[in-house]
A and B are shown apart, each in its own frame.
Chain A
């Protein structure tokens, strides 16, 4: 079992719809959870992080965390074609004597006109 699992997609949604991206993790001791967006050929850019159970909203983005279920999700409201990218879930946990960020393989999102 991978430490951080994401559906690779592609996830296709129409413009204006809500896109829902999901991520599960295996380490119950994980403390912080991140969502990054990566356009093709570019480096990952941070969208938001969450560390408490519940929802965290930032503009059109909402991160949801459920530590009991070891599940974190990202909702994108009013999806735009410019949101088409790969979304990486990352989980911060303790490994090898220090905090370490483990990335999922990413979910490709396509927002269609």
Chain B
């Protein structure tokens, strides 16, 4: 079944640790996105990719980095986590045809102590 996956779903980690949030999709989509959302607040686009080896920063400045080596995989890395990084991180993908509808993964809730 075509879907979009995120792991881990929940992560509690100490300050200074390096973390990677995984996102994979079996939708066959070229475009992938990372959003950050605090509880009760709006979605903020932090990174996006239109294809392999293509990555761009989004509207909200983020200390995270991303890579796109394979079409189906779009991991997000924080080199040194801080409490200010505590948030929900949502991955999405869309195809490059028609309406460009975005579909979201289940999200990763990150807590940095």
The answer, yes or no, to whether B43 is at the interface (CB within 8 Å) is: yes
| A residues less than 8 Å from B109 (CB atoms) | 41
Does B100 contact A99, Cβ atoms closer than 8 Å?
yes
With an 8 A cutoff between CB atoms, is A16 at the interface?
no
- Interface of chain A, helix or strand or loop or mixed? strand
Considering only CB atoms, which chain B residue lies closest to A90 in the complex? Answer: B102
Listed residue (A31, A43, A45) with the most chain B CB atoms within 10 angstroms of its CB: A43
The CA-CA distance from A31 to B105 in the complex, in Å, is 24
Flag whether B53 is at the interface (Cβ < 8 A). no
- Count how many chain A residues have C-beta atoms less than 8 Å from C-beta atoms of the other chain: 24
Q: How far, in Å, is A38 (CB) from chain B's closest CB?
A: 9
User: Count of chain B residues with Cβ under 8 Å from any Cβ of A?
Assistant: 20
Task: Chain B residues near A41: list those with CB within 8 A.
Answer: 39, 88, 109
Which residues from A are CB-within-8-Å of B41?
Answer: 105
Whether A32 and B100, one on each chain, are in contact in the complex, defined by CB atoms closer than 8 angstroms, is yes
Which chain B residues in 55-113 approach chain A with CB under 8 Å?
A: 56, 88, 90, 94, 99-107, 109
| CB atoms of A92 and B100 under 8 A apart | yes
Residues of B with Cβ closer than 8 Å to A?
Answer: 39, 41-43, 45, 50, 56, 88, 90, 94, 99-107, 109
A105 touches which of B42, B101, B103, B107 (Cβ 8 Å):
B42
Of all chain B residues, the one with the shortest Cβ separation from A48 is B101
Query: Which residues 23-77 of A sit at the B interface, judged by CB distance below 8 A?
Result: 31-32, 34, 36, 41-46, 49, 51
Residues in chain B near residue A101, CB distance under 8 A: 94, 100, 102
